[in-house]
Chains A and B, each alone.
Chain A
Amino acid sequence: MNKAALPIFARLQALQTSAKVVQGGARVIAGVSDGNPLAALLCEVNETVLGRTLAFESSEGLGLTLEVSGRRVLRVVAAKGLPDAELCLAAEALEDEHKDSLIKLLQGVAVTGQELRVWALPMTRDVDGVSVGLPVALIADLLLVDLNPHALGAPITPAITPRPSGARAAVRTGEAAPPSNPFTERPVTELPRLSARLGVTAQPKLQVGDPAPADAPDTGLANLPADAHFLRSFAGAIGPDLMAWLIVGGQADGQTDGPEEMVSHLQGFLEDEAEALSAQLDQVTTTAGTPVCMVLGASLVEGHSILCARKGPGVLLGVIEGDATQTVLRAWISALRG
Chain B
Amino acid sequence: MAISDSLGALIKSYPQARLIAFADLSSSMILASHGRDDVTQEYLDRLCQQARTSFDDPLFSLSVEAFGEPHAALIMGDDGLRLFLRSETEPADALCCICDHSIDLPGFVAKIRETLDKISAGA
Contacts and interface: CB of A to CB of B under 8 A. Distances in A.
Interface of A: 4, 7-8, 11, 49, 70-72, 130-131, 135, 137-138, 169-174, 176-178, 180, 182-183, 269, 272-273, 276-277, 280, 283-287, 290-301, 303-306, 308, 319, 323-326, 328-329, 332-333, 336
A277 B59 contact: yes
A8 to B, nearest CB: 5
Contacts of A323: 106
Nearest to B49: A283
Given A137-B28, A296-B63, A280 B105 contact: no
A56 B60 CA distance: 41
Contacts of B25: 171
Given A276-B58, A294-B59, A329-B101, A130 B31 contact: yes
A273 B61 CA distance: 10
Interface residues of B, number: 53
Interface in B45-96: 45-46, 49-50, 52-79, 81-82, 91-92
Contacts of B68: 174, 177, 298, 303
Interface of B (DSSP majority class): mixed
Given A172-B57, A286-B79, A299-B71, A329 B105 contact: yes
A286 B18 CA distance: 15
A308 B109 CA distance: 19
Interface in B1-55: 24-29, 31, 40-43, 45-46, 49-50, 52-55
Which A-B residue pairs are the 8 nearest by beta carbons?
A174-B69, A273-B58, A7-B42, A304-B67, A325-B105, A295-B74, A300-B72, A135-B27
Nearest to B24: A131
Given A286-B77, A301-B109, A303-B67, A173 B91 contact: yes
B43 to A, nearest CB: 7
Given A276-B57, A284-B50, A328 B67 contact: no
Given A4-B46, A173-B69, A300-B109, A293 B75 contact: yes
A286 B80 CA distance: 10
Given A300-B109, A305-B63, A336-B78, 4 more contacts: A135-B27, A296-B72, A298-B69, A301-B106
A286 to B, nearest CB: 6
A277 B58 contact: yes
A306 B31 contact: no
Nearest to B42: A7
B78 to A, nearest CB: 5
A305 B62 CA distance: 10
Contact of A284 (B61, B75, B101): B75
A171 B55 contact: yes
The interface centre, meaning the residue of A130, A138, A297 with most chain B CB atoms within 10 A of its CB, is A297
Given A131-B31, A296-B54, A319 B66 contact: yes
A154 to B, nearest CB: 16
B110 interface: yes
Given A138-B27, A298-B70, A325 B109 contact: yes
